[in-house]
């Protein structure tokens, strides 16, 4: 089923939930490791029996030294999913409330300007062949175009398989994205054309299950590798970086995509009441509030359209606050 073996009294529940997720078509890869860590934690927690108790959960969510709130929230979320699975089986389990943990400190997304996007893509396109990573000069130009042009999360882009890219329809299939959601992501004609050329150059003899952006090992290119290239492209494009945790970040391409979409729609006089649900679905957001944050960002960044946005949608634009962290 996976590379981990579970040995705690919760073994049956853990393996059952993984089977359920995977039978529904989810890869459910990243959570498996966290469940293994939770299983090991349970083995060392002397008071645990075959039940998920409140004491066990609160012991698990004690924040570790130097652990970010985002990492803590991820650890808590996986065990919350396990508790929900157990309760569906009719067994009593403590389900951690959604808002039980403090929210991460706010991060103001970096929205690239049109000029900065053009400068970045110019440097990405100039990426040279590298013997250690022989496909780098082909992967990076397309990868960064999909991050910006489709608003993909970096994990969603790197998890794409060849079979997930429909070159005829020009549609990407995101499997098991955030919140375990699948969704279809239409591409522009230009990006579809880029994908066709890329497939001819990279995947002429690949199986349909091959990673779309492969490393030399056959696995997907790592996020760390992409980030290292990203920092170099920023420097070459003369875009300053504020240091670790301050951005710009890879995830800011997604923020920029959303804000640029809203800017275009407002200037075109589109009915945002009709278009916001489309953007929510396209981005794979869990709630409308995640999408509506981009209205505020759009209004703040482009004063010439602020009045239009606030007049029509001021009631749904969230204020800047400490809860503005990366949830999308």
Q: Which residues pair with 171 in a beta bridge?
A: 166, 186
Tally of CA atoms within 13 A in the half-sphere of 288 that contains its CB: 9
d(CA 211, CA 175): 13
Classify residue 240 by its DSSP letter: -
Angle at 145 between CA 297 and CA 206, to 5 degrees: 140
- Residue-by-residue DSSP string for 263-274: HHHHHTT--HHH
Cβ atoms of residues 144 and 116 within 8 Å? no
Q: Which residues of 93-130 are buried (b: 16+ CB within 10 A; e: fewer)?
A: bbbbeeeebeebeebebbbbeeebbebbbebbeebeee
> pTM higher than 0.75 for the full model?
no
CA distance 144 to 260: 16
pLDDT at 152: 94
DSSP line for 265-317: HHHTT--HHHHHHHHHHHHT-SSHHHHHHHHHHHHHH-HHHHHHHHHHHGGG-
How many other CB atoms are found less than 10 A from the CB of residue 261?
19
Q: Give the three-state DSSP class for 59.
A: helix
For 217, the 3-state DSSP assignment is coil
Residues 28 and 219: their CA atoms lie apart, in Å, by 16
79: number of CA atoms within 13 Å, CB side?
A: 29
Closest CA to 230 of 113, 159, 140, 129: 140
234 close to 241: Cβ distance less than 8 angstroms: yes
- pLDDT in the model for residue 60: 93
- What size, in residues, is the chain? 328
H/E stretch holding 171 reads strand 171-174
Q: What is the pLDDT along the chain (328 residues), one digit of tens a residue?
A: 457 888 898 999 999 999 988 887 776 777 888 899 999 999 887 665 678 999 999 999 998 887 777 788 888 999 999 999 999 999 999 999 987 877 655 667 888 999 999 999 999 999 998 888 899 999 999 999 999 999 999 999 999 999 999 999 999 999 877 766 789 999 999 999 999 999 999 999 999 999 999 999 999 999 999 999 999 999 999 999 876 666 799 999 999 998 898 888 888 888 877 888 888 888 888 777 777 777 777 767 776 655 555 555 544 444 433 333 444 6
The pLDDT score that the predictor gives to residue 159 is 93
Q: What DSSP designation does 214 have?
A: B
- pLDDT number for residue 323: 38
The residue assigned the tokens 């990279």 is 202
């Amino acid at each position: 089923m996976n590379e981990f073996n579970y040995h705690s009294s919760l073994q049956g529940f853990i393996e059952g939930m993984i089977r359920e997720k995977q039978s529904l078509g989810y890869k459910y890869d990243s959570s498996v490791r966290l469940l293994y860590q939770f299983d090991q934690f349970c083995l060392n927690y002397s008071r645990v029996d075959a039940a998920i108790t409140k004491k066990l959960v609160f012991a698990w969510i004690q924040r570790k030294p130097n652990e970010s709130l985002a990492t803590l929230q991820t650890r808590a979320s996986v065990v919350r999913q396990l508790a929900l699975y157990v309760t569906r089986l009719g067994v009593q389990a403590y389900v951690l409330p959604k808002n039980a943990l403090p929210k991460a400190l706010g991060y103001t997304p970096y929205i690239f300007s049109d000029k900065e996007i053009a400068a970045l893509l110019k440097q990405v396109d100039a990426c040279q062949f590298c013997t250690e990573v022989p496909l780098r000069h082909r992967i990076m130009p397309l990868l960064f175009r999909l991050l910006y042009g489709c608003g993909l999360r970096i994990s969603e882009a790197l998890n794409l398989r060849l079979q997930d890219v429909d070159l005829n329809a020009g549609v990407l299939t995101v499997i098991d994205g955030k919140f375990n959601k699948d969704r279809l992501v239409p591409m522009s004609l230009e990006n579809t054309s880029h994908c066709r050329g890329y497939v001819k150059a990279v995947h002429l003899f690949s199986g349909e299950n091959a990673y779309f952006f492969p490393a030399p090992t056959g696995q997907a290119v790592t996020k760390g590798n992409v980030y290292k290239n990203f920092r170099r492209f920023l420097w070459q494009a003369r875009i300053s970086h504020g240091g670790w945790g301050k951005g710009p970040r890879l995830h800011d391409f997604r923020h920029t995509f959303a804000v640029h979409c809203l800017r275009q729609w407002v200037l075109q006089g589109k009915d945002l009441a009709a278009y916001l649900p489309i953007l929510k679905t396209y981005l794979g957001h869990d709630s409308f509030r995640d999408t509506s944050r981009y209205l505020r960002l759009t209004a703040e960044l482009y004063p010439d359209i602020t009045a239009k946005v606030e007049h029509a949608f001021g009631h749904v634009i969230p204020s800047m606050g400490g809860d503005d962290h990366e949830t999308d």
